[in-house]
Structure 1
Amino acid sequence: MSTANNTLNILGHEIKPGESKEVDFDVAHLHTASAVNVPIIIERSKTPGPTVLFTAGVHGDEVNGVEIVRQLIAKGINKPKSGTIICIPIINIFGFLNLKREFPDGRDLNRVFPGSKNGSLASRVAYKLMTEIIPHVDYIIDFHTGGSGRFNAPQIRIEKSDSQLNTLARVFGAPFILHSKYIKKSFRSSCNKLGKPLLLFEGGKSIHIDEVITNHGVVGSKRVLDHLGMLNSKFVVFAPKTDCVMIAESKWIRAKYSGMFKVAVNIGSKALKGDLLGYITDPYGKMNYFVKADVSGYVITINESPTVYQGDALFNISTKLEA
Structure 2
Amino acid sequence: MARKRAPFELAETVIPAGRQVSVKIPAVRLYTDTPMDLHVEVFHGVKDGPTLLVCAAVHGDELNGIDICRRLIKKLNPKRLHGTVMIVPIVNVFGFIQQTRYLPDRRDLNRCFPGSDQGTVGSRLAYLFSSMLMCRASHIIDLHTGAIHRSNMPQIRANIKDPAALAMAEAFHVPIILHAKELDGSVRATASKLGASAIIYEAGEALRFDQAAIKAGLNGVLNVMKELGMVQRRGSRVKFEPLIANHSQWVRNEYDGVIINRIQLGSRVNKGQIIGYSASPHGDTEHPIRSPIDGVVIGISNIPVANEGEALFHIAKISTEQITEAGEIVDSFIEDFDTRVL
Give the conservation status (yes or no) of the 8 Å contact 1:44–1:80. Answer: no
2:215 paired with 1:208: no
Moved more, 298-307 or 86-95: 298-307
How far apart are 1:143 and its partner, in Å?
Answer: 0.5
- Aligned residue number for residue 57 of structure 1: 57
Give the conservation status (yes or no) of the 8 Å contact 2:178–2:316. Answer: no
The partner residue of 1:301 within 299, 302, 307 is 299
How far apart are 1:79 and its partner, in Å?
Answer: 7.2
Q: Deviations over 1:276-308 (max 9, x none)?
A: 322323333333333222332111111111221
The amino acid that maps onto 2:145 is T
Give the conservation status (yes or no) of the 8 Å contact 1:263–1:304. Answer: no
Q: TM-score, normalised by structure 1?
A: 0.92
Question: 1-side partners of 2:195 and 2:223: how far apart?
Answer: 22
2:24 paired with 1:24: yes
Question: 2-side partners of 1:70 and 1:4: how far apart?
Answer: 29
SS at match of 1:101: coil
Moved more, 184-193 or 209-218: 209-218
- Aligned residue number for residue 244 of structure 1: 242
Question: 2-side partners of 1:307 and 1:55: how far apart?
Answer: 34
Moved more, 137-146 or 69-78: 69-78
The partner residue of 1:253 within 230, 251, 254 is 251
How far apart are 1:270 and its partner, in Å?
Answer: 0.8
Q: For 1:176-195, list aligned pairs within 5 A.
A: 176-195=176-195
- Aligned residue number for residue 9 of structure 1: 9
The amino acid that maps onto 1:218 is L
- Aligned residue number for residue 175 of structure 1: 175
The amino acid that maps onto 2:196 is K
The amino acid that maps onto 1:117 is D
- Aligned residue number for residue 263 of structure 1: 261
Q: For 1:107-186, list aligned pairs within 5 A.
A: 107-186=107-186
Moved more, 94-103 or 293-302: 293-302
Higher helix share: 2
- Aligned residue number for residue 286 of structure 1: 284
How far apart are 1:320 and its partner, in Å?
Answer: 4.5
Give the conservation status (yes or no) of the 8 Å contact 2:25–2:39. Answer: yes
Q: Deviations over 1:111-154 (max 9, x none)?
A: 11100011000100110111111222211100011114221121
Q: Quick one: structure 1 residues 152 and 51, their matched pair in 2 at CA, closer, same or farther if it must change by over 3 Å?
A: same
2:43 paired with 1:43: yes
- Aligned residue number for residue 96 of structure 1: 96
Give the conservation status (yes or no) of the 8 Å contact 2:158–2:165. Answer: yes
How far apart are 1:274 and its partner, in Å?
Answer: 3.5
Q: Quick one: structure 1 residues 4 and 241, their matched pair in 2 at CA, closer, same or farther if it must change by over 3 Å?
A: farther
SS at match of 2:117: coil
Give the conservation status (yes or no) of the 8 Å contact 2:145–2:151. Answer: yes
Moved more, 177-186 or 129-138: 129-138
Q: Quick one: structure 1 residues 282 and 77, their matched pair in 2 at CA, closer, same or farther if it must change by over 3 Å?
A: farther
Q: Give % identity.
A: 34
How far apart are 1:248 and its partner, in Å?
Answer: 0.7
Q: Deviations over 1:65-105 (max 9, x none)?
A: 21211221133478752211110000001101111111112
Q: Quick one: structure 1 residues 319 and 46, their matched pair in 2 at CA, closer, same or farther if it must change by over 3 Å?
A: closer
Question: 2-side partners of 1:257 and 1:108: how far apart?
Answer: 30
- Aligned residue number for residue 86 of structure 2: 86
Question: 2-side partners of 1:141 and 1:190: how far apart?
Answer: 13
What is the RMSD computed on CA atoms of the aligned residues?
A: 2.1
Give the conservation status (yes or no) of the 8 Å contact 1:77–1:222. Answer: no
